[in-house]
Structure formats: C-alpha cells, structure tokens
Amino acid sequence: MLIHELARQTGLTPATIRYYEHEGLLDKTHSYRAQNNYRHYTEAAVERLLLIKQGQAAGFTLAEMRELIDTWYTDALTLDDKRAIVLHKIAELERRIAELEAMRATLLAKLPLMGQVGAVT
Amino acid sequence: MLIHELARQTGLTPATIRYYEHEGLLDKTHSYRAQNNYRHYTEAAVERLLLIKQGQAAGFTLAEMRELIDTWYTDALTLDDKRAIVLHKIAELERRIAELEAMRATLLAKLPLMGQVGAVT
DNA sequence: GTAAACTATGAAGTGTACTTGAAGGTCAAG
DNA sequence: CTTGACCTTCAAGTACACTTCATAGTTTAC
C-alpha cells in the first residue's frame, strides 16, 4: 500500500510516517521503494505504527519505543534479558497508572470542596 | 520561604518555579516580594506546585492545569458547572488509565512470544 | 571586606514530536 | 494533454516545557 493508505489505516499523517522512518522506527521489513521511488508498505507497517501509537498514548517517547522494539531484534541479548526489559517497561506502566490514579483521587477529593474559600490551593 | 526552599520542598528548580509564575500558574496569593525584590512564598505555593506536578505526571499540560485551577476561582461559572468540568477531567484521566492498561496488555501478550520469528511487529 | 551562596531579569538555547512550505516528479481520468 | 491527487526531498517553523547564560544585586559567614 502507498503512504496515504497506511496513514488512513493508522490514523497518522503521511508526513508523520516519513518522520518516523527518518527516526528509525520503520525499516526495510516495513516498506520498499517502487521504481518511481514511492514507498510501498506491508501489513507489518500497520502493526508497527499502531504499536508505536499505543506506546505514545501511554507516555513513552519515540526513543523509548525504538529501544523497546530494538531489544526484540538484537542478538546481543538473551531471551531472558529481553523478557526482563519488557517486564521492566510493564512495571513502568504500572507506576504511571498509579500516578494517574493518584491524580484522579486528588480531583475527586477536591470535588465536594469546590467553591469554598481556600478549598483549592 | 525563599524560592530555594520552595524548590526543595517541591522537587522543582527555582528556574522552573519562576517559569511557572511567568506562565500564570502562581499568583499573589502564593508569594509576595520583599524590599530586596526577593520572592517569598506561602505554604499555599507548596500545595499549588505539588498539584501542578501531579497533574504533569498524569499527562496534563501546564495550560490544562491552569485552566483547571482557574475554574475554581472564576465567578463566571456556577458551582455545578465547576464540578462538571472537574468530572470531565476525571473522565479524561480514566480514558488515559485505560490506554496505559491497553499498552500493558499488549506488552504482556508479546512477552511469551519474544524471540520467535515474526512474533513482534 | 570579601567570598560563597543566594536573589533578580531577560534572552537565547534545548529536546521532543511533529507540521508546514517550497519545489518538483508521477499517475489516472476525462 | 492537462487537471488533480497523489508522491518525493529538504529545510524551516511550531508548541511545549524547560534550561542555560549573561549580567547584576543581596545576604551570610569568616
């Protein structure tokens, strides 16, 4: 598929996809160039971009997502090391979930006080 | 207290606190200027900054935090309107928590597959 | 009375993640 | 055979949240 179609399927823009490629988040397994120099994408590109998008929504930077994906493909780590890295990322997510829940609790706690003098700092 | 002490108590830097003031996140109820032009802060400043910090950790922008805090102090909204705005923010937080949990589920699902050919997109 | 450690301002620089613009090549439809 | 909708690259611009720098005034300790 062409970049326009990939953009449609992922909810990104063609410019963002080119930017991600430039940042090393996509590689030759996701696209090839046709004779006219147009990028053609595989289904793997859709899944990779959706994974990156989900990571972004979860607060990971592009660099973090690239590192995470890279651990999958490196030969410099054992399978157990790779699993440990992913488990570490999961723990990070759980810490963040706890932070959001703390903020939620803070807002809930302030809710009944709203409007009172000095209730909100 | 001076800016250095406020920074210590909040985990921010003096520069960041001045920046927040410049961005309208602190006002005269949080500090006054001494004769030497030094800022002196009240305890309210500590709580305000910790609230902002918590909001930041939860993914809210400074502009969002300022808006949220402003709803507390405006006279242009009824108490019910204010509560509705805060409830809306809480709903936003819950959507974000769901996104983080989705990412967590994605990573957990990939965990047992790691190292297998084509397992990770 | 001077050195260290604070305070101030304003402007410029940094990193992340894009977005926009310029200038041009390609392709399908009528 | 031209119009419109794609595609290309590269450079510059934008928004956010700071950080750093330059310059200068103030306060505390010895």
Provide, as residue numbers in chain B, all residues whose Cβ is less than 8 Å from the Cβ of A87.
111
- For residue A4, the model assigns a pLDDT of 97
Inform me whether the pLDDT recorded for B116 exceeds 80.
no
Q: Is A5:A38 a contact under the CB 8 Å cutoff?
A: no
**B47 CB near a chain A CB, below 8 Å?**
yes
Q: What average pLDDT does the segment B81-100 reach? A: 96
Give the phi and the psi of residue B30 in degrees, each rounded to 5: -105, -20
Q: What is the pLDDT of residue B120?
A: 64
pTM of the predicted model as reported, rounded to 2 decimal places: 0.89
Residue A102, classified by CB atoms within 10 Å of its CB into exposed (0-12), middle (13-18) or buried (19+), is: middle
Q: Which residues of A touch B103 (CB under 8 A)?
A: 54-55, 57-58, 60, 93
Q: In the predicted model, is pLDDT for residue B10 greater than 60? A: yes
Q: How confident is the model at residue B111 (pLDDT cuts 50, 70, 90)?
A: confident
Query: Residues in chain A with pLDDT < 50?
Result: none
A66-96, pLDDT tens digit by residue? 999 999 888 899 999 999 999 999 999 999 9
B103 touches chain A (CB under 8 A): yes
